[in-house]
Amino acid sequence: MSQRATVDFLLHDWLQAERLCQRERHTEHSRETFDAVLDLSEKMARETFAPANRVIDTEEPTFDGTQVHLPAVTPKALQTYIDAGLMAASKDADLGGMQLPTVVEMASMSFFYKASMSLAYYPMLTRGNANTILAHGTPRQIEVFAKPGFEGRTFGTMCLSEPQAGSSLSDIATRAVPDVHGDGSGTHWPQDPLGPRYRLTGNKMWISGGEHNMGENIVHLVLAKIPGEDGKTIPGVKGISLFIVPRKLVKADGSITATRNDVALAGLNHKCGNRGTVNTLLNFGEGRHAVNGQAGAVGYLVGAAGEGLKCMFTLMNEARIAVGLSATMLGYAGYDASLAYATQRPQGRKAGAGGKDHTAPQIPIIEHTDVKRMLMLQKVVAEGGLALGLLCAQLVDDDYTGTPEQREQATTLLELLTPIAKSWPSEWALEANSQAIQILGGYGYTRDFPVEQYWRDNRLNMIHEGTHGIQALDLLGRKVVMNQGHALQVFAARVQQTIAQADAVADLAPLGQSLAQALAQVQTATAQAWATGKPEEALANATPYLQAFGHLVLGWIWLELALAAHAAQAQGHWCNSPLGPGFLKGKRAAAEYFFDYELPRIPAWLVVVSQRNMTCAYAQPDWF
């Protein structure tokens, strides 16, 4: 039941996160400082974010033609988060940060995602935006645009999508021309201290956090194409560059002026869920806020021209792991709510002997096997998804502060696991939310209980940050085949290590054997999908492949967690916990549930992959 206990189990019994304190970057830290941050996060999320979650759903953002209005709880809750210094938790001390390991920062975020994903998206986007400038910007851009983000003084966005270009970013039409005279004319950019200065024109759709009055400014990170001498843009992703476009113009010394940049809100999107994060259609350069008498939003190039998508991937990879974790935590919220309900709702009597005695009191529904099945599904998704998110965060730490060998392995595994970290929780935590509604029966279908909102909020996660289908193409089309399948080999070696450990523990050995079989099935299907070398055949069933691969990864994680629970029990950990022996037994039972109920789905998904089945590929539009 307690998320905090599971976070502690994952961080310490499984990931041994305290070992990170031996690395130079984290020597100031210890288990005590980790605990203090988690205590604070848990409390703040419970007391400030959670009570606001329903309000921000019912009081959608509005636009009166001039200004966006958000419920008062939104800036209030975010300010508590900012005041606690959590925006820059993992950043360098000279950026105002605490130099916490990323894995602890993500563990801290998990409480906020669970309490209110919509509120937590503001810091998530702002941090990702500032991290991208930190990775690719000039020292002045970092000082002027990233640092205020880490301080929580400004907010950040990512502006990729356009009305006509969502999944296909190569088709964006936003243009950036050099702003040589400061009035949008000329052919060469001036040496502006804030970077090569351009004027941007175009429409950006679905921009989260795109317009509001919180903070001192909004820093948009915008993808746009720079036309050549002939006025034409280069087709494809090679022509895409990245720009910083502040909502209000900023001077070279970082002071924010009162002058609006030429970025206008065209309207708000009215969403199924996730209503607390304002979502916008922005018009860049339409002339509503002309700068120096000229239409065109002032933007500063980040990184090299033509490298925009590559730079933006810093943000996108971070956001993909974060989106996966947020999906998981909505799954966790539904799990908690339906578990609490199931322990209190009396309904029916036991199956079997005595069950027909209608004078006997009814039993709480948690005693019905089918309800336990629905709780088990939610448990494996919530706790397994959290484990996957924290594992990825620790790989980010290894990538940053590990030995050269750890770094190499972390980079490779992160590339492979990112599509899974994003898509698996998006799909299965949504299903978990559906099961939470089911446990509450009719009550779950009403707005008097929170579970329907969790489902609506979570429905977003299979769509944004690369749809499910796009993640599948990335996994099977790129990640498992790049460098002659190197990433898949590295992953397989890690899985084999876990299987070898399980072999040495009598009652876990059978799970290890099932996992070995699943790994072999995925490896064989990968080879068979690509046997003809034709992408249209290999990728015809990329989504079932993604599902199978995701379940393989989670099978591996659940075996790891079963091993960690076994070791914790042997060492007497948790024996004094108020959660009792059930805590570790529950981990073990969840692993068994996953292996018995979920892992067997893998071969069924892989049949069409291995066949290179073309039923869907050959279907003609007029057959539907």
The residues binding ligand FAD (CB under 6 A) are 157-161, 166-167, 206-208, 271, 274, 279, 460, 463-465, 467, 469-470
What is each CA distance from 112 to 45, 75, 286, 421, in whole angstroms? 5, 15, 37, 18
Nearer to ligand FAD, 89 or 159 (CB): 159
Place of tokens 């999908």: 529
Nearer to ligand FAD, 276 or 331 (CB): 276
Shortest spacing between CB 135 and ligand FAD, in angstroms: 18
Nearer to ligand FAD, 78 or 158 (CB): 158
Helix (H), strand (E) at residue 39: helix 31-44
What are the φ/ψ torsions at residue 466 (nearest 5 degrees)?
A: 90, 115
Dihedral of CA atoms 468, 111, 390, 147 in degrees, nearest 10, equals 90
Q: Are 530 and 485 in contact (CB under 8 A)?
A: no
Nearer to ligand FAD, 63 or 400 (CB): 63
Shortest spacing between CB 575 and ligand FAD, in angstroms: 45
The SS3 assignment for 209 reads: coil
Shortest spacing between CB 465 and ligand FAD, in angstroms: 6
Nearer to ligand FAD, 237 or 561 (CB): 237
Instruction: Give the β-pairing of 154-159 and 217-225.
Output: parallel
The SS3 assignment for 186 reads: coil
CB atoms within 10 A of CB 129: 29
Shortest spacing between CB 173 and ligand FAD, in angstroms: 13
Written as six digits, the tokens of 335 are 């799990």
How far apart are alpha carbons 420 and 410 in whole angstroms? 15
CB atoms within 10 A of CB 467: 16
DSSP-assigned letter for residue 211: S
Shortest spacing between CB 4 and ligand FAD, in angstroms: 29
Going by C-beta distance under 8 Å and a sequence separation of 6 or more, which residues neighbour residue 249?
256, 257, 259, 260, 261, 291, 298
Q: Are 249 and 210 in contact (CB under 8 A)?
A: no
Nearer to ligand FAD, 272 or 340 (CB): 272
Shortest spacing between CB 21 and ligand FAD, in angstroms: 35
Nearer to ligand FAD, 159 or 242 (CB): 159
Instruction: Please identify the residue of the shown chain whose CB is closest to the bound ligand FAD.
Output: 166
Shortest spacing between CB 371 and ligand FAD, in angstroms: 32
How far apart are alpha carbons 245 and 221 in whole angstroms? 6
Nearer to ligand FAD, 470 or 502 (CB): 470
Nearer to ligand FAD, 151 or 465 (CB): 465
Shortest spacing between CB 433 and ligand FAD, in angstroms: 17
Shortest spacing between CB 160 and ligand FAD, in angstroms: 3
Shortest spacing between CB 165 and ligand FAD, in angstroms: 7
Nearer to ligand FAD, 53 or 279 (CB): 279
Nearer to ligand FAD, 471 or 569 (CB): 471
How far apart are alpha carbons 570 and 578 in whole angstroms? 18
Nearer to ligand FAD, 467 or 496 (CB): 467
What is each CA distance from 97 to 26, 80, 84, 401, 470, in whole angstroms? 12, 16, 11, 16, 35
Q: Are 155 and 211 in contact (CB under 8 A)?
A: no
Number of H helices, E strands in the chain: 21, 12
Shortest spacing between CB 164 and ligand FAD, in angstroms: 8
Instruction: Give the β-pairing of 154-159 and 256-260.
Output: unpaired
Shortest spacing between CB 326 and ligand FAD, in angstroms: 12
Shortest spacing between CB 80 and ligand FAD, in angstroms: 23
Shortest spacing between CB 520 and ligand FAD, in angstroms: 28
Going by C-beta distance under 8 Å and a sequence separation of 6 or more, which residues neighbour residue 125?
155, 156, 157, 158, 208, 209, 319
Nearer to ligand FAD, 329 or 470 (CB): 470
Helices 509-529 & 482-503, crossing angle to 10 degrees? 170
What is each CA distance from 341 to 207, 437, 611, in whole angstroms? 37, 11, 45
Q: Are 110 and 216 in contact (CB under 8 A)?
A: no
Smallest CA-to-CA distance from 274 within 4, 17, 61 is with 61
Give alpha helix (H) positions in 366-481.
369-401, 404-439, 441-444, 451-458, 468-474
Nearer to ligand FAD, 323 or 515 (CB): 323
